[in-house]
Amino acid sequence: MKQDSQIPTPPPENGSYSRVSPSQAAADAIPLLVDDTYHLFHLTTPPYTRHHPPRLRSSWWRLRSKDLVNWTRDPEPSITPSADRSSPDTDGAWTGAAVLGPDGIMNVFYTGYDLSRGGKQVILRSKSGDKHGTQFSLPGQEIFFTGDGRSMLEDIDFRDPYVFFNEQDGRYWMLIASRLASGPHWSRGCVALLKSEDLETWTFEPEPLYQPNDMFCPECPELFTLPNKKWYLVYSRFHGPNAGTVYRVADSPTGPFRIPRDGSHGRLDGRRWYAAKSCPKSRDPSKRIFFGWAGDYVDEEGKWLWGGDLGIPREVSADVNGNLRVEPVLEVKRLFEETTVPCSHVIPAELSLSSTGKMTVEPNFFPDEDRDLLLHFAVQSCDAHSFGLMLDMDVDQLAHRLRFQPDEHGTFTVVLDSGFPPLDDFWADQYSLHLPRSVDGPEMIRHDCVDLSGGASIFLRGKLIEVFLGGRSMTFRLPQVHPASRSKQDPQHSTKRLAWFVEDGRVDIKHLTLEVGGRIAKIEQ
């Protein structure tokens, strides 16, 4: 087998907003708004790497924009691992935060990673000469802190600093992803809290800000408040239950942080939209702009990789009950619609599907189209048990499915599933149907109590699908070939990229549109 350095990562999904180059993957986002300009720092892998440790020797690259669709990418990385093998960041410049100091100058706090010290992680600070972060002093300097809080934590997991000025407290706060030094092994994950007057000296709070006793380590935490006076703690879980970027709500910046009761379970998306972070929306303090990434998938290994493509920027706001709602940035939808190309196959604006006592697939409604797509529809009425879309359906009608199932409250359970799940060992042995057992399970993403009155918007860019509906989002990267497909050994096998299905009943679709070949961003180097 070839070495990692000789194997290219999977191809990018539409342009250089998503990643620096086809051979490099984008990962954790670090956004900052300065004078109506979005500074989107994000981690980037070394070229042609797949696995730890080489893939995680990441650097910070930056994009800038004033409108979230026209972006300029810096020609060089802002933060890089040190070439000095004795430096604490020699094996990676990991996630952190960008923040303006008391003097208005941009500072960066990031995680240094050093394999020679057992993978120890330390928090480093680098300061620019201006508020725009034109250039940063490297290598970063390890922060100085006082207080006894550090003794409560493990030595290794100590990363992902998030720094902001807490106006209510009058000090800078730093949140750190960590683990308690004692307690149940699998659930010691916590968010440590440090405070500072000037970003120079930090004081450990004696107790963690958050220790829910239900996770290994809460990655990439952030904390913010909205005009409703609620405080939102956002972090990412790399394991179930509810893997992915989640949030908790409190009336105070010190908690207690509660799980939303709106059917989302605090999930903003699913496992594959990860390490999402945000900044305020320019000139609108009621909204935050979130950026996350969807990981690469290597079909021949059956493995998900750290890092992939940056997803569509998302606008997040609170509803009247204080629950967060996720929508695609409106400017992105407009750009996609403005840059579409003519499609030879015109689809009707309305559609009725029905089937009694069985599931029926309508394979010929959508055109055979391999360009990027934006599909929108709303539900006029539905008494079917379920309906939805087949994604990359093969000749046996095996496909990933976006399934909509009405509930008794007039809302829907929406699931992205794998179509045909693996069997119990007895049945698998009997029929010789030993199907892959994905870490995601047969249901990759599930949202309950989804209000579809505003319709659903589905971006399909290459193999990357991003769904927005009822204030929720669903992100996933489809494999090149379904892992259970019988035709995967046939190089000439064909699939239908999209097809409708309906199960036991009728659904009436309205406001149906399909845009083809659009763009989600414009980039200048």
Which CATH architecture best describes the domain 4-325? 5 Propeller (2.115)
CA distance 41 to 32: 8
Alpha-carbon distance of 270 to 232, in angstroms, equals: 18
Handedness of CA 462, 400, 364, 348 (dihedral sign): negative
What is the per-residue pLDDT across 113-138, written as a single tens digit (0 to 9) for each? Answer: 999 999 999 999 999 999 999 999 99
* Nearest residue to 326 (alpha-carbon basis) of 271, 390, 246, 405: 246
Weakly modelled stretches of the chain, pLDDT under 70: 1-15, 487-493, 525
In the block, residue with structure tokens 């990434």? 293
Q: Domain spanning 335-524 has what CATH number?
A: 2.60.120.560
Based on its alpha-carbon atoms, the radius of gyration of the chain, rounded to whole angstroms, reads: 23
Residue in 121, 145, 144 with CA at minimum distance from that of residue 206: 145
| Number of neighbours of residue 337 by Cβ within 10 angstroms | 13
91 vs 121: CA distance, rounded Å: 10
What whole-number distance in Å separates Cα of residue 325 and Cα of residue 470? 8
The SS3 of residue 47 is: coil
Distance CA 290, CA 279 (A): 7
Distance between CA atoms of 467 and 400, rounded to whole angstroms? 14
- pTM attached to this predicted model: 0.94
> pLDDT tens, 473-518?
999 999 888 777 776 655 556 789 999 999 999 999 999 999 999 9
List the domain boundaries for the chain: 4-325, 335-524
- Report the alpha-carbon distance of residue 127 to residue 105 in Å, rounded: 8
Question: Which residue type, as a one-letter code, is found at position 262?
Answer: D
Cis? peptide before 139, omega within 30° of 0:
yes
DSSP 301: T
The residue type at 160: D
Tokens representing residue 191 in the block: 């968010």
Dig out the tokens for 64 from the structure: 């800038």
Q: What is each CA distance from 374 to 306, 503, 517, in whole angstroms?
A: 27, 24, 9
DSSP H/E element including 464:
strand 464-469
**Nearby residues of 180 by Cβ (< 8 Å), 6 or more positions away:** 152, 153, 154, 188, 189, 190, 208, 211
Eight-state DSSP code of residue 346: P
| Cβ neighbours for 508, distance < 8 A, ≥ 6 positions apart | 350, 351, 352, 379, 380, 381, 382
Check residue 10 and give its pLDDT. Answer: 52
pLDDT in the model for residue 488: 60
Q: How far is CA 281 from CA 81, 250, 258, in A?
A: 31, 21, 25
Cα-Cα end-to-end distance for the chain: 36
433 vs 81: CA distance, rounded Å: 47
Concatenate the DSSP letters of all residues of 243-294 into one string.
-EEEEEEESSTT---B---SSSTTBSS-TTSEEEEEEEETTEEEEEEEEEEE
Strands 106-114 and 120-127: antiparallel
